[in-house]
Amino acid sequence: MRILLLILLLIPLAVWGQIDSLVQPPDATQQVIEDFLQNTDSEGAFDYNTIFENLEYYLERPLNLNDADQDELETFGLLSDIQVLGLLNYRKLAGDLISIYELQAIPSFDLLTIRRILPYVTVGAELDDYQLPLGRMFLEGRNELYLRWSRILEEQKGYRPLAEGETGSRYLGSPGQLYLRYKHSYSNKLSYGFTAEKDRGEEFFTGSNPQGFDFYSAHFFLKDYNRTIKAIAIGDYAVSFGQGLILYSGFGAGKSSFVMNIKRTGQALRPYSSVNEINFQRGAAATLAFGKHLEVTTLASYRKRDANLLLPDTTDVDQDIRLISSLDLDGLHRTPTEIAGENTIGQMTFGARLRWKGRLGHIALNALHEQIDAELTPRPQPYNEFFFNGNRLFNASVDYSIVYQNFNFFGETAISDNGAIATLNGLLMGLNQQVDLAVLIRHFPRDYQALNPNPFAETAGARNETGAYLGLEVRPHPHWKLSAYFDAWQHPWLRFNVDSPSRGYEYRTRLTYYLKRNLEAYVEIRDEVKEQNIDKIEGKNNFTLPNRIFQTRLHLSKKVTKALELRSRIDIGFSDNEINNIQRGFVLYQDVLFKPIGFPFSFTTRLALFDTDGFEARYYSYENALLYAFSIPAYYNRGTRFYFNLRYRGIRNLTLEARFAQTYWSNQNTFGSGTEEINGPARTEVGAQVKYVF
């Protein structure tokens, strides 16, 4: 009843103007991020915060769909692999597109896709800007400066002094999170800049960070300078080879409601300006073209890494060896323990990629050598018996992508220097105008070893998994779309928190209805059964048993005017296993998005009600936040979630933003656990950001 009253109160808002021109991730991309966090069982801020900024470039200079090759279309990010295939085949048969609306004649291009890409694409001719002088790119480019601050208002345990006789860790820094970023770019050809960040609880210009911020990153990137120099990267950069079996930096989406998006795509080298402190290279790299068919990419990188030391750094008479149990992956340096592991080792990386590209596709040879200046020795546990031990690791692979008529065959096979071979192979098929099919088979032996893999998989690490995926998309009517996938897998060896070989399966189906540009509605069912360790609630023993998570969703998005959009959603489901009581729950929320051009203020807001029996019945929901900052909280327990984002653009080239968000648990007296614990039922987040373009 309260939600109905809220909707009735919000709908009569007076609105005018047009849609805000500032780029926000398209709805489809937001859902991919949401699915990514759901599949990885994590929550919080999404730290690949620059993966959509190329859309801002395409707003100013739309992608020419008549000239773009397969690599450009895949890197564009708003088309599925099967849609890229359909567009390429259509151009071969019918020639250049005459109008953007001709896309409706291409198989797999539904109205939702066309509506999504319209602001960013064109079919008109554009000037060839090869051989532009570097000086012109430096002088005529676009400069962007970002300043962001955020914090949690309530005092958390990590900031309270230890009481007399109390032991434990405490944060040494302030509760504010700071972000600074400068970037200069010319078209999508030149980019340079720097990024700096201080996480909550980290010191600033004191203690372990006398230089100010905890994390600094800088990059210089030149793309398509001439017919030979395809890319040059200096400083921090991202590298992606093949399907991710040996190296894939950045965001690699997995299973999602966009069931055809299973192929790793994109250029081998990209500039890096994100705040993820782990998944990047630091040094230099280049991609050179030799003729029309051959490309060579080489890279060299050296950077410091956080690690968990097993022994103090001592020098023996015969050898100087440091032992580490693991590489740290969170990039947090708040407590004395976390600071002790900061930048304790160096990692050196050399790699190369030889790629031959022809009319039907490409084949590539990839090689990667990793070396750390310590001995990685995981603490002995049955599950990590086959993990990498040592200080040097070599990987090599072959990847391919072949397009024949309406079929795209792709895959990668890799070997680690212990002889283990991992392979992943897939097929995308446009069966007819209304039906697309995706198939993917993967086999990662338990002893396959790589330091930075990121392939399509159920679990991370590209090891100890064999699985098969089948995706189907059917468009029986211009306004209807049915998408579904089924994935089954098994783990022949133990895993962390799984004390025996295990298996699982998952299926998901979504029926979507959309009408022109102002209405989208879908109903979805997701069902997953996965064997894992399950703690008996009323005992101390755990058992490896199947655990089922079943969720249903009804979502409605309606553009009331050009400036006002309403989004409503309800999630209902349960989590169940053989030894514990079933946990049920639901989430109900209402979003309001108000984004005019003719008025300097715009806002987005949400009110969510949730009632679940516990964490196992949690739900993930994407939230709009400050520009290029994303939040995907997990809703569980019983309570409410509210946020309000306000944006002001009344001053030329300047954007001011503010955010308020609060989660309230009505059935809890404390919020969070460990050093994040709040002595109260609510957690309130506030933030502000300034963006200046010059």
Pick from 87-91, 330-334, 391-395, 539-543 the range whose average pLDDT is largest: 391-395
245 pLDDT band (50/70/90 cuts)?
Answer: very high
Classified as helix, coil or strand, 120 is helix
pLDDT tens digits, one per residue of 297-310: 999 999 999 998 88
| pLDDT value at residue 362 | 94
Does the pLDDT value for residue 527 go beyond 90?
yes
DSSP, res 248: B
The answer to the question of residue 187 being in a domain is: no
Measured CA to CA, the distance from residue 671 to residue 648 in angstroms comes to: 32
| pLDDT value at residue 284 | 97
The answer to the question of residue 85 being in a domain is: no
Weakest-pLDDT range from 153-162, 202-211, 258-267: 258-267
24 pLDDT band (50/70/90 cuts)?
Answer: low
437 pLDDT band (50/70/90 cuts)?
Answer: very high
Mean pLDDT computed over 66-92: 81
Neighbouring residues of 680: CB distance < 8 A, sequence distance ≥ 6: 154, 669, 670, 671
DSSP, res 675: G
Q: What angle do CA 603, 608, 612 make, to 5 degrees?
A: 160
| pLDDT value at residue 13 | 33
The answer to whether the beta carbons of residues 23 and 52 sit under 8 Å apart is yes
Distances (CA, A) of 23 to 19, 52, 57, 211, 487: 10, 8, 10, 33, 34
* Domain interval for residue 572: 1-46+464-656
682 pLDDT band (50/70/90 cuts)?
Answer: very high
CB count in 10 Å sphere of residue 100: 16
pLDDT tens digits, one per residue of 617-636: 999 888 888 877 777 888 99
The answer to whether the beta carbons of residues 72 and 250 sit under 8 Å apart is no
Closest alpha carbon to 2 in 569, 558, 590, 570: 590
The answer to the question of residue 501 being in a domain is: yes
pLDDT tens digits, one per residue of 651-679: 999 999 999 999 999 999 999 888 999 99
85 pLDDT band (50/70/90 cuts)?
Answer: confident
| 7 vs 105, higher pLDDT | 105
Does the pLDDT value for residue 432 go beyond 90?
no
Does the pLDDT value for residue 164 go beyond 50?
yes
Q: Would the pTM count as exceeding 0.75?
A: yes
Mean pLDDT computed over 431-439: 91
Measured CA to CA, the distance from residue 73 to residue 563 in angstroms comes to: 30
The answer to the question of residue 2 being in a domain is: yes
| pLDDT value at residue 666 | 95
The answer to the question of residue 494 being in a domain is: yes
- What CATH number has the domain bearing residue 635? 2.40.160
The structural domain count of the chain equals: 1
Does the pLDDT value for residue 412 go beyond 90?
yes
| pLDDT value at residue 160 | 92
Q: Within 13 Å of residue 340, how many CA atoms lie on the same side as its CB?
A: 11
pLDDT tens digits, one per residue of 182-193: 999 988 889 999
| 418 vs 311, higher pLDDT | 418
| pLDDT value at residue 316 | 47
Mean pLDDT computed over 375-383: 90
Strand partners, 361: 358, 402
| pLDDT value at residue 26 | 55
Sheet strands (E) in 478-600 = 480-491, 502-515, 519-535, 542-559, 564-576, 583-594
Structure tokens at 571: 């999630």
| pLDDT value at residue 73 | 82
Q: What angle do CA 416, 421, 422 make, to 5 degrees?
A: 105
10 pLDDT band (50/70/90 cuts)?
Answer: very low
| pLDDT value at residue 480 | 92
Structure tokens at 537: 């609630």
The answer to the question of residue 55 being in a domain is: no
| pLDDT value at residue 654 | 95
Residue 635 backbone dihedrals phi, psi, to 5 degrees:
-95, 120
| 318 vs 566, higher pLDDT | 566
Quick one: 95 exposed, middle or buried, by C-beta within 10 A (0-12, 13-18, 19+)?
Answer: exposed
Q: What angle do CA 229, 232, 235 make, to 5 degrees?
A: 170
| pLDDT value at residue 683 | 96
The answer to the question of residue 592 being in a domain is: yes
> In percent, how much of the chain has pLDDT > 70?
88
Structure tokens at 279: 């998944």
pLDDT tens digits, one per residue of 552-581: 999 999 999 989 999 999 999 999 998 888
Mean pLDDT computed over 259-264: 89
Mean pLDDT computed over 309-325: 65
6 pLDDT band (50/70/90 cuts)?
Answer: very low
| pLDDT value at residue 78 | 78
Distance of CA 283 to the CA centre of its chain: 24
Helix, strand and coil percent figures for the chain, each rounded to 5? 15, 50, 40
Structure tokens at 638: 């019983």
| pLDDT value at residue 8 | 33
Weakest-pLDDT range from 247-256, 523-532, 596-605: 247-256
| pLDDT value at residue 4 | 36
Q: Within 13 Å of residue 413, how many CA atoms lie on the same side as its CB?
A: 3
Neighbouring residues of 110: CB distance < 8 A, sequence distance ≥ 6: 475, 478, 481
The answer to the question of residue 17 being in a domain is: yes
| pLDDT value at residue 5 | 36
Q: What angle do CA 379, 381, 382 make, to 5 degrees?
A: 155
pLDDT tens digits, one per residue of 42-63: 444 444 555 566 677 777 778 8
User: Across the chain, what does the average pLDDT equal?
Assistant: 86
**Exposure string over 41-71, b if 16+ CB within 10 A, otherwise e:** eebeebbbbbbbbbbbbbeeebbbbbebebb
Closest alpha carbon to 353 in 291, 395, 393, 392: 395
Strands 654-665 and 682-693: antiparallel
